[in-house]
Amino acid sequence: MASLLQKINTLISANIHALVDSALEANSVKVMDEYIRQAERNLDAVEDAAATVGGTVKTLKRKYEEFAAAAEKLDRDIDTLLVRGKTDLAAAAQAELNQKQQLAQEYYEQWQSQEQEYRRMLDAKLKLEAKLTTIKQEREHMKALLELVEAKEMTTKTIKSLDDLAGAGDEDVKRLGDQIRARLDREEARLEMATTSVKDQIDEAIGISEIELQLEERRQRLGLGGESEG
C-alpha cells in the first residue's frame, strides 16, 4: 500500500509546466501520453486497493462493536453477580471481561489505523484524478500548439520552453503559449483548493466521530442508553 501511495504522490507532484516544456522540446506529446498511461494504471490500482481496505475497515469496526457490546454486558452482569453474593462467578466473568476489553481495544486500534489508510487512499485518488484531467486538457492544447509550430517550420532547437515562445516574436504562438501558462496556473490553484476542501471534510468527519463516541460514553454512564434527542 505504501509503495502504491508513493507512486501516486509522485504523479500528483509532477510539474505540469515541466511536462509542457518537455513536450515542446521533443516536439511531441509522447511525454504527456506516458504520464496519462501511468496515472490511469495507478488510478485503477488505488481504486482496487481502496475497495479492499474499505471492506477491512467495515469488518474491524463491526468486530470492535461486537466485543465492546459483549464487554459492556459482562460489566453489568458482574455487578449483578456481586450483589447476589456469587463471587466465584463474578471472578470468572471479570476474567472474561478483561479478555473481551483487550480484544475490543485491539480491534479499535486496527480499525482506526485502517480508516486513516483508507482516507489517505481516497484523498490520493481525488488529487490524481484532478491532475490527470488537467494533463489531458493541456495535451490537446499542446498538440494544437505543436501543429502550429510545425506549420510555421519552427524547429525543436529553437523551442526550449514557453518562456522562449513568449519572446519568439510570432504573435499566434506567443498568444497560445501565454494561454497555456495561464490555464496551468489556474488549474493548479483549483487543485490546491480541492485538496484543502477534502482535508477539511476528513478532519470534520473524524472530529464528529470522536464527539459521537464521547457522547455515547457519557450516555452510558448516565444510564441513558443509545437514545438522544430528536
pLDDT tens digit at each of 230 positions of the chain: 668 888 888 888 888 888 888 887 887 889 889 999 999 999 999 999 999 999 999 999 999 999 999 999 999 999 999 888 888 889 999 999 999 999 999 999 999 999 999 999 999 899 899 889 888 888 888 887 777 666 654 333 444 555 555 555 556 666 666 666 666 666 666 656 655 554 555 455 555 556 566 667 767 777 776 544 44
Residue 94 lies in a domain: yes
Residue 86 lies in a domain: yes
Q: Which residue has the cell 475497515?
A: 57
DSSP tag of 52:
H
Residue 227 lies in a domain: no
130 neighbors 11 (Cβ within 8 angstroms): no
Calculate the dihedral angle through the C-alpha atoms of 80, 81, 83, 85, rounding to the nearest 10 degrees: 170
Q: CB 124: neighbour CB atoms within 10 A?
A: 23
Residue 207 lies in a domain: yes
Q: How many domains does the chain have?
A: 1
Quote the cell numbers at residue 183: 490555464
The parent domain of residue 75 ranges over 2-12+22-222
Residue 210 lies in a domain: yes
CA angle 230, 206, 210 (to 5 degrees): 60
Is this structure's pTM higher than 0.85?
A: no
Residue 110 lies in a domain: yes
19 neighbors 31 (Cβ within 8 angstroms): yes
Residue 230 lies in a domain: no
Residue 17 lies in a domain: no
